[in-house]
Amino acid sequence: MWLRESSCPEGLLFCSPQNSNRIASASSVSHKIKELLRYAGIVKEKEGAHLLRHTYGTLLYSKVKDLALVQEMMRHEDPATTRAYTHIDDDRRRKATDILTKMIKR
């Protein structure tokens, strides 16, 4: 829908609301993404472009399971920042808990 209705010249996904020949500012893009996400029924604590970045980091980690690669792709200096974008899924958490429970029972 966005691509069909966009008034931006070819090659620009988001353009300035004041001048369609100029690239949009970061705040303008974030605002537009918030609108699009709300239109799609996606309302989260993290909104706008940051939600997309968070989703990218989380999905990339879920596929590659390589924190160093995700850190590099997201251009984080501190691995702790990257860890905030990763989520240990419930199955892995249960497996780890089961392993620890078995070790304790021995």
Domain layout of the chain by residue ranges: 2-39, 48-105
Amino acid 69: pLDDT:
94
Helical ranges in 14-89 per DSSP H:
26-39, 48-64, 67-74, 79-83
**Per-residue pLDDT tens for 30-85?**
888 888 888 888 877 767 777 788 888 888 988 898 989 999 999 999 988 888 77
Model pTM?
A: 0.57
Query: What band does 11 get if pLDDT is binned at 50, 70 and 90?
Result: confident
Q: Please, are residues 33 and 52 in contact by the beta-carbon 8 Å criterion?
A: yes
Query: What band does 4 get if pLDDT is binned at 50, 70 and 90?
Result: low
